[in-house]
Structure 1
């Protein structure tokens, strides 16, 4: 499938949907997609988990999943489906608090890195 076709398909499927991921900006950048910021739930920017991630870099997601879900991921290799499932499970574990903050007009997340902000509407 040509990239342009895949990108258009992804854009249609994601329109008006909440997207959950870890370091979501990397996926948006790879697909060259813009998405409304209020329809994103990025675990890498969620303030309540920032103290857990700290300066872990590439291991931050693994550490979060291990600490909150008592589950090991990326054991020797990166598996996108495993990551997606872990991100959804982690989000579901804090969704009530996260969404409650949003309904009170409190955005509980940091901004994504400067060079990736163009992907957020």
Structure 2
């Protein structure tokens, strides 16, 4: 559901945004280390469009730490959105879940503790 995918190695070899990753990889190989491509939930096809400025930039706009607002199929766009769509779920801030239990009817009951800022 999160859209795990892998980067196209051919695109990686030519993409300007991965120039320094290629330099790092080459130095690692020269030192005898191996490298691998790690699958990601960021849509690499979207990133390729970001690089040529066909879509709103996210990963290439330094949003990595702040949530990747475009090309990532994050929890708020997938699992949580589906849960909210049922009408049976609400999300509240400052409410850490302390316990989850399944009721006899199959529903789940969460025990939360309210906190303040």
Normalised TM-score (structure 2): 0.20
* Higher CA-based Rg: 2
Higher relative contact order at CA 8 Å, sep ≥6: structure 1 or structure 2?
1
Larger helix share, 1 or 2: 1
